Structure formats: C-alpha cells, structure tokens
Amino acid sequence: MRPVKVVVIYSLDGGVGKTTLSAVIGVAKGYTLLIDADWEKAELSQLFRAPRRDGWLAPFYGRSFHVHQISPSLYLIPGYDAVDYYRREGSPEDLEEALAQWVQHAPRIVDKLRLPVDAVVIDTTPALRPRLLEGLSKLGARMLFVGDVRLLSRISDVKAEQYKQYMQYSFAVVINQVDKNDVAMAKSVTNYVIRHVPGIRDYRGEAVASAILRDRHNRTSVEELLTKIKS
C-alpha cells in the first residue's frame, strides 16, 4: 500500500475560503482525492460539478459511494448525502464519527480503489468541536487551519482564546483572502498567505483555482504549503 497523507482543512469561522483553498490545493498538487465533508453546504461538490450521487456517507447506510473524476490525477467524493442527513437529523454526532472513520481508513480505501493519488484532502464544516479535531489529529491527519483577516484584527480575549485552541492542532496556518495592503501583517503570523483575487467570474473548481494561482504571490505560498504537506 502506497503512503497516503490525509489532510483535514478546518476553520473556526465560516466564509474564510476554506473550500476554495481545498480546490486550489487539489488542482495545484494533483494526485489527490478530495472529500467534501462540509455537511452544511457541500460547496466543493458544486464547485467541481460533481453529480448528485451517493457520497462519503453512503457506506454508513449500506450503499456504495461515487468517485467523481475531475482530471486524470484529481478525484472527488461528493457530500450531498451528508448535507441531506444533517438537514434531516440536525445533529452532527454521527457525521463526526463517519468523518473520523474516513480519516482512519482513507489510505486503505485509496489502495482498494487503485486511485493514482498520494494525498486525501478533506474539506470540513466550520467550527468542528475541539474534541473531534484532537481525535482526528491522533488518527494521523495533517490538520490545516484556515483563517482570514479576522485573525489579524483586534479581537476579544474570548475569540483570541478560541483561535489559540483551534490552531494548536494544526501543522500549518493559512490566512486566506487577504487584501494587498494586509499581506505584510499576515506574513508576520504565517508564511502561508493567499491574496484575494477580484473579478473571478467562472466558478468551476479548476477555473477558480487557476485564477488564484495566476497570482505569483499566491502560487509561491501554495507551493511552499505543498512542500510542507509532503514533508
């Protein structure tokens, strides 16, 4: 079985561009299986125009999941069924357990499917419970925290403590959607800073990723991040 790294992309706040970053990492790296585990929106599935078929939750109710091929080296397991389950049940406990199972068994599943990938990147719902984050980290996931300019602002002691608690599980912190004037400040916090790219009109996953990566600063940050992921 080939070595497969599992990367969980998580955040405290919504709207930080976590799903977009998942797409950028997948496109820039290649040889990646994306899993859309954002059970509130399933935006990654929509971004890559995945068909509305059974996704990563399917095995837990006796069905097979669909693997959507984006390119010869990029694949996606959709998350529509998880969204339906969350809206119907209104409780994330079962979804959290299913996510933990995927983190634990993803390398074995990749090997069984004979997918030509060496990384599994999992996009998640914002504000996962710290206990779950700790558990995923103990299962061997590389935890990638994503924030935005709110991470740079003067925030309350309570919010600052929340950021500290969430970031303690991360192997890297990305500050996303940063305006040009705030890049220097963001760089004082982390090396992995993604500048905001205005005027994106084509909201297909590969087109969005390409637009973000055309920015030289962004490409450098993503390349450095990919090196960190591979190490």
Residue 1 is predicted with a pLDDT of 60
Rg (CA), the chain: 17
Spatial contact of 166 and 129, defined as CB atoms under 8 Å apart: no
Per-residue model confidence as pLDDT tens digits over 19-64: 999 999 999 999 999 999 999 999 999 999 999 999 999 999 999 9
Total domains in the chain come to: 1
CA 145 vs. chain centroid, Å, equals: 9
Percentage of the chain with pLDDT > 70?
Answer: 99
In the chain, beta strands by DSSP E: 5-10, 32-37, 68-71, 74-77, 119-124, 142-147, 172-178, 192-195
Per-residue model confidence as pLDDT tens digits over 182-231: 999 999 999 999 999 998 889 899 999 999 999 999 999 999 999 999 98
Residue 154 is predicted with a pLDDT of 66
Residue 157 is predicted with a pLDDT of 78
pLDDT of 162 above 70? yes
Per-residue model confidence as pLDDT tens digits over 67-90: 999 999 999 999 999 999 999 998
Which CATH number does the domain housing residue 137 bear? 3.40.50.300
**Residue range of the domain that includes 194:** 5-230
pTM above 0.75, yes or no: yes
